[in-house]
C-alpha cells in the first residue's frame, strides 16, 4: 500500500510540473473530469437515515477535523470507522462502514453498519503484539443500521482479510512505536 501511495504521489507531482508533456496532461484532465465528480452525480441512498428534524443534506463525502469521511459506495477506505456505540465512551469502540452521511445545521450523522464479532473460538494471531492492538472481527456487516454522531467517531481503521470469514482491524488514530524500536534507533 505504501508503494502505491509513493507511486501515485510521484505521478501527481510529475503531472503538476511545467515540463509534463501536453498529451499526458490532457489525459489527466480527461481522467479528472471523468472520475472526480462521478460519485457526486449519483443519487444518494437515504433509506436507512433516521428521522432528522429540519432540513438536511445527504452527502457522499464530508471533511471534519482534517479527516475525510465517505460512504462505502464512494470510497471504502474513508468509510471504515471505529465508533462508540450509542455514544457510550465507557465501551470499546467498534468497527463499521458508513453508508450514508446526513448533515443538518446542528449536527452530522453517519449511518453505519458495524462489523459483527468474530465467531466464538476464533483465535487472534495478533494478540502477541500488545503495542499494536489488532482485533479480529467477522467480515460480515450487521444488517441493522446505526446512527452515529460525528463526535462519537474515534478514528478510521484499516482492515486485512485473514480468512474468508474474518478481518483484522487496527485503529489509525495512534501510531505506536514500541520502546525497543526507539532504543534500536537511538543506539544505531
Cα–Cα distance for residue pair 188/70, rounded to 1 Å:
42
Cα–Cα distance for residue pair 10/16, rounded to 1 Å:
10
Where are any strands of DSSP class E within the chain?
Answer: 57-59, 61-64, 67-70, 80-83, 94-103, 108-117, 134-141, 146-149, 153-161, 166-171
Confidence bin at 182 (pLDDT 50/70/90) = very low
Domain 45-179 is in which class?
Answer: mainly beta
Q: Name the residue among 55, 80, 90 with its Cα closest to residue 153.
A: 80
Percentage of the chain exceeding pLDDT 70: 73
Confidence bin at 184 (pLDDT 50/70/90) = very low
Mean pLDDT of the chain: 79
The pLDDT value given to residue 147: 93
38-57: average pLDDT: 53
The pLDDT value given to residue 175: 52
- pLDDT tens digits for 124-181? 888 888 777 889 999 999 999 999 999 999 999 999 888 889 999 998 886 555 544 4
Domain ranges of the chain: 45-179
Burial of 147 (0-12, 13-18, 19+ CB in 10 A): middle
Backbone angles phi, psi at 35, to 5 degrees: -105, -30
Instruction: Say if residue 53's pLDDT is above 70.
Output: no
Amino acid at each position: 500500500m505504501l508503494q502505491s501511495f509513493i507511486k501515485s504521489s510521484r505521478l501527481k507531482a510529475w503531472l503538476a510540473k511545467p515540463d509534463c508533456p501536453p498529451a499526458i496532461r490532457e489525459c489527466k484532465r480527461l481522467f479528472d473530469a471523468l472520475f472526480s465528480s462521478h460519485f457526486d452525480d449519483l443519487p444518494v441512498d437515504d433509506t436507512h437515515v433516521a428521522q432528522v428534524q429540519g432540513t438536511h443534506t445527504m452527502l457522499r463525502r464530508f471533511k471534519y477535523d482534517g479527516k475525510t469521511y465517505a460512504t462505502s459506495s464512494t470510497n471504502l477506505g474513508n468509510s471504515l470507522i471505529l465508533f462508540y456505540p450509542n455514544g457510550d465512551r465507557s465501551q470499546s469502540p467498534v468497527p463499521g462502514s458508513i453508508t450514508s452521511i446526513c448533515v443538518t445545521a446542528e449536527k452530522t450523522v453517519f449511518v453505519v453498519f458495524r462489523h459483527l464479532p468474530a465467531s466464538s473460538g476464533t483465535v487472534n494471531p495478533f494478540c502477541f503484539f500488545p503495542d499494536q492492538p489488532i482485533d479480529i472481527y467477522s467480515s460480515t456487516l450487521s444488517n441493522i443500521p446505526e446512527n452515529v454522531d460525528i463526535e462519537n467517531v474515534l478514528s478510521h481503521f484499516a482492515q486485512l482479510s485473514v480468512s474468508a470469514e474474518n478481518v483484522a482491524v487496527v485503529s489509525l488514530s495512534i501510531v505506536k512505536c514500541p520502546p525497543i524500536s526507539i532504543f534500536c534507533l537511538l543506539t544505531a
